[in-house]
Amino acid sequence: MLDMPPRLSALKAAIRARSSPSPRSFVRLPVERPIDEETLPHYDPEHFYPVHIGDVFDGRYRVTGKLGFGAYSTSWLCQDLGSQKFAVLKLSTSLRKFPTATDREFEIYEHLAKIKSRHPGRSLIRELYDSFELQGHAGKHRCLVLQPMHMTILEMMRLNPKPFDLPLLKMTLRRLLLALDFLHAEADTIHTDLKTDNLMLSLEDSTMLADFAAEEVRQLSPRKRIDESRTIYQSRQFRRPFRGKSFGLPILCDFGEARIGKAHESSPFVQPNIYRSPEIIFEMAWGSAVDIWNLQGWGLCETTGQCFDHNGAWIAHEVAAVPPTSLESLEDRLSGTEKESFLHFLRSMLKWLPEERRTARQLLDDPWLL
């Protein structure tokens, strides 16, 4: 029998010693101040499963800390009591009449698991380790056990507001296009929700996981006790890499809005509003080309929130006309042939007619990315 690594052995001992923490050993937050999922506009506590740090789910996954929350789920770092490995536990809300994004994500993972492929893009998709269901007061909760990730591209951009340097941008686009080529060409799957917070960085420094769990033992997360069964915890973040380690590589995540099939009937309920393709806006039939439009929209739409309201109306219409613009004027960081090649790359995605947009495979062969 292999000896347990010293770091994990110490962590396990610390967890046992602190399994029943003193009420004074953590910051107690005011009940009246909303935190985390409570800040969501449609928040209903009945739909969120009441997780507590230290809980063990499915007989094997011990919750070691809260990582975050979304509109339809909360995410927690957990440790497999059998293998001692860490994973992310994503617990969905319970909505009896409608499938949640986590239910759809599970269906996508089931679909992808049936596909026999050696496509390199397959490894650029976040891995699902396990899944199970929990019974809550208001219905069932789908639970996904996922590959741990560090942070989203959006979070990294907020840490370093400077634009991506060219090699990093090209590497990110190549990896994303490889993942899309696998999804579109071999899995008949359309992501529909491409944005910088659905592209995450892998963990090159795996010690961050044990350090996160140990820090929760050393200094318990701030929280607020709602009642006997429910406590709301404040999310924590992984530390930054050190000891010569760097941030990991981009991985495509979050398939809660993905759809299976090459063609779909009109639907106004896919894609983020600001990145919607013409065929979605005009409620026409659509296919994988919506992901290509979605991808090119990241760079072009970074500042639209300063110019348009949530309905797409020009904010300053009473004092100024909509100014003329062009791709050339939007891109001022490049020049010469590099700029020409980049704009040609963008224009190949920015086509009104979806059949005229280049596919992910064709974009991978574009000279600008090579």
Q: Does residue 352 lie in a domain region?
A: no
Residue 7 has pLDDT above 80, yes or no: no
**Phi, psi torsion values for 307, nearest 5 degrees:** -115, -30
Mean of per-residue pLDDT scores for the chain: 86
Looking at residue 19, its pLDDT comes to: 45
Please calculate the CA angle 63-215-2 and round it to the nearest 5 degrees: 65
67: helix, coil or strand? strand
Average pLDDT, integer, range 244-256: 91
CB 368 within 8 A of CB 345: yes
Q: Does residue 40 lie in a domain region?
A: yes
pLDDT band with cut points at 50, 70 and 90 for residue 162: confident
Average pLDDT, integer, range 99-104: 85
Looking at residue 359, its pLDDT comes to: 98
**Closest CA relative to residue 209, chosen from 50, 109, 74, 89:** 89
Residue 328 has pLDDT above 70, yes or no: no
Looking at residue 274, its pLDDT comes to: 79
More confident of the two residues 89 and 15: 89
pTM of the model: 0.84
CB 61 within 8 A of CB 53: no
3-state helix, strand, coil in the chain (%, to 5): 35, 20, 50
Average pLDDT, integer, range 289-314: 63
Q: What are the beta bridge partners of residue 314? A: 308
Cα 57 to Cα 67, 131, 208, 344: the distances in Å are 17, 11, 22, 51
CA distance 323 to 328: 14
CA distance 26 to 143: 27
Which residue among 181, 193, 254, 291 is the active-site one?
A: 193
CATH number of domain containing 79 = 3.30.200.20
Give me the domain span that covers residue 32.
27-161+204-227+243-261
Report the range of poorest mean pLDDT among 135-144, 148-157, 337-346, 353-362. 337-346
How many domains are contained in the chain? 1
- Provide the token pair at 145: 């056990």
pLDDT in tens, 213-235: 999 999 999 999 999 899 999 99
CB 63 within 8 A of CB 90: no
**Alpha helical stretches, state H, the chain:** 6-17, 101-113, 153-159, 166-181, 207-218, 278-281, 289-300, 327-330, 336-347, 360-364
Q: Does residue 238 lie in a domain region?
A: no
Q: Does residue 177 lie in a domain region?
A: no
Looking at residue 245, its pLDDT comes to: 80
pLDDT in tens, 50-84: 999 999 999 999 999 999 999 899 999 999 999 99
More confident of the two residues 303 and 90: 90
Give one word for 216, left, alpha or beta, with left for phi > 0 and alpha for psi -120 to 50: alpha
pLDDT in tens, 145-154: 999 999 999 8
pLDDT band with cut points at 50, 70 and 90 for residue 181: very high
pLDDT band with cut points at 50, 70 and 90 for residue 282: very high
pLDDT band with cut points at 50, 70 and 90 for residue 300: very low
Q: Does residue 346 lie in a domain region?
A: no
Q: Does residue 173 lie in a domain region?
A: no
Q: Let me know if 36 is a catalytic residue.
A: no
Average pLDDT, integer, range 289-295: 94
pLDDT band with cut points at 50, 70 and 90 for residue 24: very low
Looking at residue 158, its pLDDT comes to: 86
Q: Does residue 345 lie in a domain region?
A: no
Residue 253 has pLDDT above 50, yes or no: yes
* Length reported for the chain: 370
Looking at residue 327, its pLDDT comes to: 58
Average pLDDT, integer, range 182-207: 95
Q: How many helices (H) and strands (E) does the chain have?
A: 10, 14
Residue 117 has pLDDT above 70, yes or no: yes
Q: Which residues contact 284 (CB under 8 A, 6 or more apart)?
A: 266, 278
pLDDT band with cut points at 50, 70 and 90 for residue 163: confident
Q: Does residue 366 lie in a domain region?
A: no
Sheet strands (E) in the chain: 56-57, 61-70, 73-80, 86-92, 128-136, 139-146, 189-190, 199-201, 223-225, 231-233, 250-252, 259-260, 263-264, 286-287
Looking at residue 275, its pLDDT comes to: 83
Residue 321 has pLDDT above 80, yes or no: no
What share of the chain in percent tops pLDDT 70?
82
